[in-house]
Chain A
Amino acid sequence: MRRYSPIIIIFLLTIPAVTGTLSFYALDSTADEQELVLYSGRSESLVGPLVEQFEERHGIKVRVRYGATTQLSIALHEEGRRSPADIFWAQDRGALDAMDSSGLLSTLSESIQALRPVSFQPYVGNWIATSGRARVLAYSPERVDKENLPVSVFDLTDAAWQGRVGWAPTNASFQSFVTSMRTQYGDAKTREWLSGMKSNQAQSYGSNVPILQGIASGEIDLGITNHYYLYRLKDADSEFPVEQTTFQKGDIGNLVNVAGIGILQSSSKQDNAEKFIRFVLSNESQVFFTEEIKEYPVMEGMAPASGLMDQESLMAYAPELHLDKQDDLQGTLQLMMEVGIL
C-alpha cells in the first residue's frame, strides 16, 4: 500500500490549491444599509438601464441577480425567510401568485396599491403589474387572406387549418392563456379545444420566435404568440414576411398577460423597495418599456410605441377576465399533459 501513498500528498496539495485559488476572491461583505437586492426574471438588457437611472436619481445602490423567472421563484421558495432579496421582478404573474400564496410577498402600502393598473390586473395581490403583453394571431400575408382569418381562437380547430397552426406549449404565456381559458370556459371545453388542436395537427414549437420563423419559412401559416416578438424580428429585418392581428373583440385568444413586481416578506427595506416600484411605474420607465421592447405600458394615459394598439382598443379586444389569484397553473399543466402536449 505504501507504494501508492502519493495520493495522500495529492490530496494534501489539492486542499491548499483549491482554497488558495478561492481566497483570491474576498468575501462579499459590503452590505450597505440602503442597498437593495433585486431578483430579476427579466433580462439585463431591459432592467440594467432602469437600475442605473434609479441609482443615479435616488442614490440607492441596487444589486441584481438575473435569471429565469421560474428558477428564481423556486430559489426564493428555497431561501424562504433567509433570502437576501428585497424585490422580485417576474416575467409573468404565475410566479408572483405562487409566491404570494406561499406568503413570501409582503403587503404593499396603500399608496402603491393605489397605482395598480386595474384593467391589466383585475384583482388585488401583493404585487403590481409593470407591463403588458398581448396574445395575438400571427399569419403569413402571402398564404392567408386577411378576410379568411379565423375570428376566434376556437376556430383554429377547423379542418381548414389542419397542420397549418403553430403553438408553443412549454411557453409560460401560452400556459397562462390556457389557464384563463379554463377559468372562463371550464375544463371540459378547454380540454376539447386542446385535443381538437392536437388532432388538427397543430405544430409544437419551443418558443415564440421559432413559430414566427416557421411562418416565414412556409412551414405553417398561422401561429398564436405574444405580440412583441414580431416587432423585434421586424426591427432586424423590415421585410420579414409575417403579419399579426387580433381575434374578434373579447376573444380569449386576445388575452393580455402582465409582468409584475413585488416586495419580499424577508426584506427589511420596504421603503426603498417601494421607491423602486414607484420608479418602475413612472412615466419614463413605462416609455422605456414600450419604446425599447414594444410591450404595453400599464399606467393610464401612456401612449404605446408606434405600431401597437392604443390602450383603449387593446382593452376593447381583450377578453373580460374573471381571474383571481387562486389560478391553478398546476391544473393547466396536468390537463395539457393528459391531452399529451406537454
Chain B
Amino acid sequence: MYLVIRALDAEPATLQAILLQPRNVVLFVNTILLTVAVIIGSLMIAMPLAWLTTRCDIHGRRLFSVLGMFPLAMPAYLMAYCYIALSGSYGSFAQVFSITLPRLGGFWGAALVLSACNYPYLYLNLRSAMLGLDPSLEEVAKSLGQSRWNTLWRVILPQLLPACYSGFLLTGLHVLNDFGAVSLMGYETFSYAIYRQYMAGFDRTYAAWLALMLIALTGLVLLLEGYLLRKSRFDRTTAVGSRRARRVQLGKWKIPGYAFLVGQVFCFVVLPLFTLIFWGLQGDSWSVWPRLLEAAWGSTRASAPAAVAATCLALPLVYWSLRAPSRLTRFMERAAYMGYAVPSLAFALALIFFTLNVIPVLYQSMIILVFAYTMRFVAEAVGPIRSALYQTSPRLEEAGRILGYGWTSVFFFVTLPLLRNGILISLAFVFVSAMKELPLTFLLSPLGFRSLAVDLWGLVDEALFAQAAPYAITILTISAVFTSMLLLRETRQE
C-alpha cells in the first residue's frame, strides 16, 4: 500500500528513464543467476546434512544438527567480512597457519557467502520433513520390489518437496534482498538499483517502483510454488502417530559421511568463528562487555515475542489453507510472504508512514517493533508448519472426531502435538532472524533501545573489529542456545 502511494508520486518520463535503463537488465540477470546458484549451493549442503543427521547411523547426530544451524544467526554482511578477512596471503588464516586460502570475490564469493548463510533454512525444513517421513511408504515400495534408488526417487524425494520449496523460497527471497554481502563481494544485483535510488537524493518515489518490481517478481515465484504444491499430497497412510524409520546402515559409506559433516562444520562454523576470535584477540575487546549485556537483553526481549507472535499467526493461516482450501485461504497464506518480499527498508518506511498517520501514540514503541518483526518474518514461520501439516493425515483428526471429541480437543490433542517439530523450527527461524534484522530495528525501535545487531553493525562499519567480535559471538551464542534448546526438545522424542 505504502509503496503504491509513494510510487504514484512519480512522473512518467523520469520513471521510464529509471526503469528501462539497460543497466537494470544486467542487474536483473545477475540476480537470477545468483539466486539459482545459491539455491543449488544450499541444497548441496543441506540435503546430505539433513539426511546424515536424521536417517543414518552417525554418532553425534545432535551435535552435528546444532552445529549445522550455526550460520543461521550470522548476518550475511558479517559472514562476508569473515571470509574476506580469512583468505588471502595476509588473511587471518595465513597468519596463524601459514596456509593461504584463495581470496573470495565476485559471483563465486557472493554465492558461497549467501549459501553459507542460507542453507540452514533449507536444512531445518528438510530435517523436520525427514523426521516426519512415514516409513511404511518406503516399506511398501520395497515390498513391491522397487530398488533402493527407485524408492528414493519416487517415494522419498517427492515427500520432501514441500520442505524444499519453502526452503528455496526463503533462500531466494534472502538473495533478492541482500545488499551487504553482494556489495562486499563486489557482485552487482538488483538490490544495487534499489540502493542507488534511495541513496540518490534520498528519493523514495522511484525506489518504491523498483521495490514494486521486486514484489512482482516474488509474486511470480510464489504463484509457481503454490502451483507446484497444489499438485501434491503427502499424508501418512497409517494412523500410527510417528513411527520412526530404521536408520540406514552406512557401512563403508560411513567415512565419507563423517568427512562431509566435519568438512561442513569446518567451513561454516570453524572458519567464521576462527576469524571472530582472531579479531577479538587483536585488540581491546573486553571493554564492551557491560554494554553487551544491555544490548543482548534488548535483542532478546524484542525477538522472543516476535517469534511467538509470528508462529501463532502462521498456524491458523497454514491450517486453514491446507484443511479448508479455497481461493481465499490460499491467498491469505501466500500473502504472508509479502512482508518478506518487500525490501526491509521500504517495509520500515511503510510502517513509519502507517503508524504516524493512523496510530501516532504507538510510534516508536516496542509494540510496533515487535509487530514489524512479526509481519516481516511470519513467512519464515509458515514453511516448517506447512511441511509438518502436509505429513499429518486428516484421517487422524477425523478419527478423533468419530471418537466423540470436540474439534477443539482434537486440534489441541491430535493436530498440535503432530505439528510440534514444525512449530519449534518456526520459532527458531523467526527468533534468529529478528535478532539480526537491521533496517527495521534502526528505524522502528523505541528511542534508546539497544540491540546486538545495531551495535555490531556500527562497530563493523567503523572497522573496529576487535570490539565487534564479542557482539558477534554473543548473537551466535544466544541463537545457538535458543535453537539447540528447541532442537533438543524435538529430538527427545526419539
Binding site for B on A (CB under 8 A): 1-7, 9-11, 13-14, 17-18, 21-22, 24-25, 27-28, 37, 43-46, 48, 63-68, 70-75, 77-79, 82, 84, 95, 98-99, 170, 172, 175, 203-210, 213-214, 216-219, 229, 232-233, 235-237, 240-241, 293, 329-330, 333-334, 337-338, 340, 342
Contacts and interface: CB of A to CB of B under 8 A. Distances in A.
A210 B184 contact: yes
B366 A330 contact: no
Nearest to A17: B312
A321 to B, nearest CB: 21
Given A68-B442, A71-B442, A209 B199 contact: no
Contacts of A37: 447
A21 B371 CA distance: 11
Contacts, number: 226
Contacts of A64: 447-448
26 contacts: A6-B319, A7-B320, A10-B316, A14-B312, A14-B316, A17-B308, A21-B309, A22-B367, A27-B365, A28-B364, A28-B366, A28-B446, A28-B447, A46-B462, A63-B447, A65-B447, A70-B198, A71-B345, A75-B443, A172-B199, A213-B84, A213-B85, A213-B91, A219-B88, A233-B463, A236-B283
A216 B95 CA distance: 12
Given A44-B458, A98-B202, 8 more contacts: A4-B407, A6-B407, A18-B309, A21-B308, A43-B461, A67-B454, A78-B353, A208-B463
Interface in B442-470: 442-443, 445-448, 450, 454-455, 457-459, 461-467
A67 B461 CA distance: 11
A74 B88 contact: no
A203 B352 contact: no
Given A75-B348, A98-B201, A218-B90, A206 B353 contact: no
B21 interface: yes
A72 B444 CA distance: 11
Contacts of A293: 462
B366 to A, nearest CB: 4
Interface of B: 21, 23, 26, 80-81, 84-85, 87-91, 94, 103, 180, 183-186, 188, 192, 195-196, 198-204, 279, 282-283, 291, 301, 305, 308-309, 312-313, 315-316, 319-320, 323-324, 345, 348-349, 352-353, 356, 360-367, 370-371, 374, 398, 401, 407-408, 410-411, 415, 438-439, 442-443, 445-448, 450, 454-455, 457-459, 461-467
A18 to B, nearest CB: 5
Contacts of B458: 43-45, 66
A7 B196 contact: no
Contact of B202 (A7, A17, A24, A73): A73
A217 B204 contact: no
Contacts of B94: 217
Contact of B408 (A6, A46, A175, A207): A6
A77 B319 CA distance: 41
Contacts of B356: 79, 82
B364 A237 contact: no
Given A21-B309, A74-B204, A219 B103 contact: yes
Nearest to B350: A78
Contacts of B365: 25, 27-28
A11 B353 CA distance: 27
Given A28-B366, A64-B448, A333 B196 contact: yes
Max chain B C-beta neighbours (<10 A), residue from A3, A236, A340: A236
Contacts of A99: 202
Contact of B184 (A10, A207, A229): A207
B88 A213 contact: yes
Q: Is the interface of A mostly helix, strand, loop or mixed?
A: helix
Given A66-B442, A205-B186, A330-B200, A236 B282 contact: yes
Contacts of B410: 6
Contacts of B349: 74-75, 78
Contacts of A334: 200
B465 A236 contact: yes
Nearest to B455: A44
A65 B365 CA distance: 13
B283 A213 contact: no
B90 A241 contact: yes
A9 B184 contact: no
Contacts of B367: 22, 25, 27
A36 B227 CA distance: 53
Contacts of B461: 43, 68
Contacts of A66: 442, 454-455, 458
A28 B466 CA distance: 34
A334 B206 CA distance: 13
A25 B201 contact: no
Contact of B204 (A78, A214, A229): A78
B282 A237 contact: yes
